[in-house]
């Protein structure tokens, strides 16, 4: 958990972070003269001080405690927030809305980072800044030709992919490091390389690792 008390922040950012408002919603309240600091209207560029009292109308907007969790998503669970039984949001017992840093498709398992800190989530959703590692279990035995193909750049969705960093684990399992976020990139490249993914497990995001976490564990 992390609290931003005393950190540099402007009024418009404060309202988006701690009230959950969009930019347009902040502007709507501002134009109506409902936003005050210590009961005095201020510009949205106002720099928040530690003891300031921020209000919208008569409602005080307190600072929020930021939460950060690791979650071992099992197969069959969606990593998007939807009103359905198989959304990850229904497998964790939290009142606070926690957003994932990077998605995993429904048929994949592994590490997810969940938080209510939008800036942190944006940073850890950027593959170039925080690379992700996956263990791939393959349908057919690994060959030299397959590894050679897997290490190539392919054109997907109009982009040339960055070749994977590859580590061979055994005859049917490899570990790859991904620095991009193209839709179903690993599954598609494995198919183009002449094999098929049987299981896909994400084991790390940046410096955070799955370690010895169990399926559905949340910490």
How many angstroms separate the CA atoms of 21 and 12, rounded?
Answer: 9
Percentage, residues of the chain above pLDDT 70: 93
SS3 content of the chain, % helix, strand, coil (to 5): 20, 30, 50
Instruction: Name the more confident of 116 and 95.
Output: 116
- The total of other beta-carbon atoms located within 10 Å of residue 21's CB is 18
> Does residue 42 share a domain with residue 73?
no
Domain hosting residue 17, numbered range: 2-65
> Does residue 8 share a domain with residue 26?
yes
Question: Residue 74's pLDDT is what?
Answer: 93
Question: Residue 3's pLDDT is what?
Answer: 36
User: pLDDT (tens digit, 9 = 90+) per residue, 118-152?
Assistant: 778 888 887 777 899 999 999 999 999 999 999 99
Residue 218: inside a domain: no
Residues 6+ apart with CB under 8 A from 152: 163, 193
- Which of 28, 46, 65 is where one domain is finished? 65
Q: Which long-range contacts (CB under 8 A, 24 or more apart) does 100-107 make?
A: 100/71, 101/125, 101/205, 102/127, 102/132, 102/181, 102/205, 103/79, 104/73, 104/79, 104/202, 105/79, 105/184, 105/187, 105/200, 106/75, 106/76, 106/77, 106/78, 106/79, 107/75, 107/76, 107/200
The CATH number given to whatever domain includes residue 114 is 3.30.70.580
Strands 109-115 vs 197-205: parallel, antiparallel or unpaired: parallel
> Does residue 142 share a domain with residue 111?
no
User: Residue 98 — pLDDT band, cuts 50, 70, 90?
Assistant: confident
* For the chain, counts of helices (H) and of strands (E): 5, 16
> Does residue 54 share a domain with residue 78?
no
pLDDT at 178 exceeding the cut of 50: yes
> Does residue 71 share a domain with residue 40?
no
pLDDT at 62 exceeding the cut of 50: yes
User: Residue 6 — pLDDT band, cuts 50, 70, 90?
Assistant: very low
**Phi/psi of residue 120, nearest 5 degrees:** -65, -45
> Does residue 193 share a domain with residue 172?
yes
Question: Residue 27's pLDDT is what?
Answer: 95
pLDDT at 14 exceeding the cut of 90: no
pLDDT at 42 exceeding the cut of 90: yes
The CATH number given to whatever domain includes residue 150 is 3.30.70.1560
Residue 216: inside a domain: no
The CATH number given to whatever domain includes residue 59 is 3.10.290.10
Domain count, the chain: 3
């Amino acid at each position: 958990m992390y609290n931003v008390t005393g950190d540099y922040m402007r009024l418009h950012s404060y309202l988006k972070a701690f009230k959950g408002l969009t930019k347009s919603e902040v502007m709507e309240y501002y134009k109506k003269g409902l936003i005050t600091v210590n009961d005095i209207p201020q510009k949205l560029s106002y720099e928040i001080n530690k003891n300031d009292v921020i209000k919208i109308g008569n409602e005080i907007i307190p600072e929020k405690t930021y939460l950060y969790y690791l979650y071992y998503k099992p197969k069959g669970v969606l990593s998007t927030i939807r009103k359905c039984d198989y959304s990850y949001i229904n497998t964790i017992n939290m009142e606070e809305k926690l957003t994932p840093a990077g998605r995993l498709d429904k048929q994949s398992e592994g590490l997810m980072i969940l938080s209510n800190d939008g800036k942190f989530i944006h940073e850890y959703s950027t593959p170039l800044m925080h690379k992700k590692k996956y263990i791939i279990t393959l349908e057919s035995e690994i060959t030299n030709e397959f590894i050679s193909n897997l290490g190539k750049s392919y054109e997907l969705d109009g982009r040339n992919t960055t070749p994977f960093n590859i580590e061979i684990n055994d005859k049917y399992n490899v570990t790859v490091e991904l620095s991009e976020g193209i839709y179903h990139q690993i599954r598609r490249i494995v198919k183009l390389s002449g094999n098929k993914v049987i299981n896909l497990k994400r084991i790390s995001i940046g410096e955070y690792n799955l370690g010895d976490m169990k399926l559905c564990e949340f910490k």
